[in-house]
Structure 1
């Protein structure tokens, strides 16, 4: 297996540095920076014409899902 396409080798590996932040934490202060898919994910229109209401879409997994759904063509509302 080549390492060029292995996604597990493209990101930092544990152990991670302690990151004390008062909730809600800021992604901009995390080390390493989280990848929510802003630049790494390219959609293909699989959700075109669909609507999605995503709770918790301001951070973490919810943010990544909101970005992915929007990139796939869905109309996204974040609640």
Structure 2
């Protein structure tokens, strides 16, 4: 029989140290810093003059989408949780630096009334919504597996 241990699948491992943060996570202390496309993404006017609404646009994938939309020519109204105001200000700066309008709206989309006010605000700002991206999400790492997820965490994620 041949030795099959050499053929065991391996998961890719990051080439930087593991990092832990309290929730919500912040972009600032990440090392290396995440790439939202600040130096790499070049737009080509595919969304020229579109009016967009993006939930969860303050950081992570949301920030990358906001920046990409702005570089494609769109104005961006995005949501963030109130405790993430510093992150939201940085996203707004990046959108405006790309030459587009940024409107940062504190909003918890789990609340239906806040969602209604969000859409009213977008229509108030621009008269229309051309693109809506529902990106807002909640994620908590569970190193002990799925059995360690509380009912509250499950309900919030879903």
CA distance in 2, matches of 1:56, 1:73: 20
1:68 corresponds to: 68
Q: TM-score, normalised by structure 2?
A: 0.40
Residue 14 of structure 1 is matched in structure 2 by 14
Q: Which residue of structure 2 lines up, in the alignment, with residue 49 of structure 1? A: 49
String of CA shifts for 1:3-37, please: whole Å, max 9, x gaps: xxxxxxxxxx7254221111122212111110001
The number of aligned residues is: 67
Name the SS for the 1:28 alignment partner.
Answer: coil
Report the alpha carbon displacement of residue 43 of structure 1 after superposing the two structures with TM: 0.8
The answer for unaligned runs of 5 or more in structure 1 is 1-12
For residue 112 of structure 2, what is the aligned residue in structure 1? none
Deviation of 1:40 after TM superposition, in Å, equals 1.5
RMSD: 1.5
Larger-Rg structure: 2
Q: Which has the higher contact order (CA 8 A, sep 6+)?
A: 1
Residue 49 of structure 2 aligns to a residue whose secondary structure is coil
Which structure shows the bigger proportion of residues in helix conformation? 2
Q: Tell me how far apart the structure 2 counterparts of residues 22 and 41 of structure 1 sit (CA, whole Å).
A: 30
Question: Where in structure 1 do 4 or more consecutive aligned residues deviate above 4 Å?
Answer: none
- For normalisation by structure 1, the TM-score amounts to 0.76
1:26-67 CA-partner distances (Å, limit 9, x unpaired) = 212111110001221111111002111000000110110011
Counterpart of 1:61 in 2: which secondary structure? helix
